[in-house]
Structures are given as C-alpha cells and as structure tokens.
C-alpha cells in the first residue's frame, strides 16, 4: 500500500474514532467533583470517592436508570476512575455513557459524559486536511535527556497551571536554514511520544490551538516526523476537552501545510473556531 493510500485509511480511522460512542465529538460535559453535587445532563448525586481509593461515588435510585459496571444502581456505589486497574463503565441509557478521569496527580476526579447523538456528532461533516507533502516527512536526531528531565506543559483553559511531563529526549533537525529543537513527552501508548506543536497556519488554515503528532524513536538515534499524520487535538471536536498548548520551543514560525486542518460541519463551515 503506497503512502497516499495509507493516509486515506488513516483518515478513515480518524473519522471512525471521532464519531464513535465515546469519540471526541460525543463529549458533552467534563465536570470536576470536589463535594456532593449534581452533574449537568445526567441524574444522580456525585461525590469524591473514599480516601486513598480515588474515583467517585454515585447515589441514585432505580428510577434514574443508571448502570455502573453493568449493574443497575439503587443506592450508593463506587465508580472507579481511569487510573484504576479496571475503570468503571457507566451507562445512562439512550446512547449516553460516562467515564471518570483523574487529574495529573490523582487528587481529584471528574465525570465525563458522552452522548452518541450529541450536537457535534449530528453536525459533523469531515476533517479537512492538506494534500500529501513528502517534504514534510522529516528524519530528525533524537537526543536522550538525563533521567528526571521534564517539559513544562500548559493547557488551554488554565494557562497558569503547570503540568510538567517527562522529557525522554530532544528532537533536533534543520530546515531551510532554521535549527529546531522540539520537546515531546510520552503518550502513554507504548513507545509513542506526543508532540504538541504550533505553526503559522494556526488560526488561518488550521485549528487555532495547534496540532499533535505521535512519533516513535527509531532506535538508531533518529526519529521520523511525518507531519502528514499531524492530527487535530480533541478540543477541536468538543469544547469540553482541555487541551495542551504547544510549548514555546514547539512553535514554528513557518506554515506546515501537511496533516489535518479543521473539523467541518456538514455545510463545510468550521464546527469550532
């Protein structure tokens, strides 16, 4: 299969995931829970889980129609977070599900609500992208860093909060007389790294916040950056995500006209700015 055919399949898989029951378009709420409280859009009363155990507790009646781990809820139950060995499954009925997520230091938890019939899913048309450009397949040098090295990562909705991530190595290459030294952190998926980058297309021909790339070190001191596989962050699909923004060293002053561009509605307009 040639590279263009592979990219077509990659694009198809991206749409399949984005439009799935818990795809990015389906997220309708992310609500942090620090006391007993209701959560917008779903029944029940939610509260922090037991001390030292994490997760959340849910109090509901049988009439609320909630299932946790495939069992109907009638009373108070524990709901395990995504940091548990076995995260809980939550069903509210009619295509609405939930997941519990932990913050970076596992001190607080939020409920995410997913709706397969969300406005985003109903309005979605396509993910626009640039034509394949082989010049944006870059073989870079991967220089390991000392153990414990971190990169400061900030997020779109709370820029004052630092979320340092491990920095296993620096990615160095030169293009058109400009030297780059990029920082990518572990993605949590095997050996893949997550590169959060911005470029001169952001807010013009691509989504304003930036894009992601998931390269894997080659094992010979190099790493391949195929910007044709650059993808939009989850916040391009739903405002209920809080996405990382590109650190300063990952911001290109030139346009990278490769990879995904924007999420489009059925009429071809931007689904999100």
The strand pair at 150-151 and 165-166 is best described as antiparallel
**Tens of pLDDT, residues 15-42:** 999 999 999 999 999 999 999 999 999 9
Written as six digits, the tokens of 214 are 């998931």
Is the CB of residue 244 less than 8 Å from the CB of residue 213? no
Residue boundaries of the structural domains of the chain: 24-115, 126-265
What are the φ/ψ torsions at residue 145 (nearest 5 degrees)?
Answer: -105, 170
pLDDT at 87 over 80: yes
Question: In degrees, to the nearest 5, what angle opens at C-alpha 210 toward C-alphas 232 and 173?
Answer: 105
**Tens of pLDDT, residues 178-223:** 999 999 999 988 899 999 999 999 999 999 999 999 999 999 999 9
**Tens of pLDDT, residues 110-120:** 999 999 999 99
Give the mean model confidence (pLDDT) for residues 66-87.
97
Q: How far apart are CA 246 and CA 233, in angstroms?
A: 11
Among 149, 140, 136, which residue's Cα sits nearest to residue 254? Answer: 136
Confidence of residue 52 (pLDDT cuts 50, 70, 90): confident
Residue with tokens 């309708």: 28
| Rounded alpha-carbon distances, angstroms, from residue 147 to 144, 150, 167, 169, 195 | 9, 9, 8, 10, 19
Give the mean model confidence (pLDDT) for residues 160-164.
92
pLDDT at 247 over 90: yes
Q: How far apart are CA 91 and CA 190, in angstroms?
A: 29
Give the mean model confidence (pLDDT) for residues 223-237.
98
Is the CB of residue 157 less than 8 Å from the CB of residue 187? no
Position 188 scores a pLDDT of 87
């Amino acid at each position: 299969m040639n590279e263009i055919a592979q990219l077509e399949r990659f694009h198809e898989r991206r749409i399949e995931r984005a439009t799935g029951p818990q795809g990015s378009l389906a997220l309708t709420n992310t609500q942090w829970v620090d006391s007993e409280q209701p959560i917008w859009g779903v029944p029940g009363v939610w509260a922090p889980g037991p001390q030292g155990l994490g997760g959340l507790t849910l109090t509901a009646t049988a009439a609320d129609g909630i299932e946790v781990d495939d069992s109907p809820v009638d009373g108070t139950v524990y709901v395990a977070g995504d940091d548990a060995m076995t995260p809980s499954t939550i069903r509210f009925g009619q295509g609405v599900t939930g997941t519990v997520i932990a913050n970076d230091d596992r001190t607080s938890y939020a409920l995410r609500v997913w709706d397969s019939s969300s406005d985003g899913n109903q309005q979605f048309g396509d993910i626009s992208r640039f034509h394949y450009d082989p010049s944006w397949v870059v073989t870079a040098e991967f220089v390991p860093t000392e153990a414990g090295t971190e990169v400061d990562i900030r997020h779109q909705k709370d820029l004052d909060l630092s979320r340092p991530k491990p920095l296993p190595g620096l990615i160095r290459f030169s293009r058109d007389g400009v030297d780059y030294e990029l920082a990518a952190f572990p993605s949590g998926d095997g050996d893949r790294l997550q590169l959060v980058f911005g470029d001169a297309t952001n807010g013009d021909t691509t989504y304003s916040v930036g894009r992601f790339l998931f390269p894997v070190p080659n094992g010979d001191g190099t790493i391949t950056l195929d910007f044709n596989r650059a993808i939009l962050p989850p916040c391009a699909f739903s405002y209920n995500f809080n996405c990382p923004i590109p650190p300063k060293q990952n911001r290109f002053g030139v346009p990278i006209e490769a990879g995904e561009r924007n999420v489009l509605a059925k009429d071809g307009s931007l689904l999100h700015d």
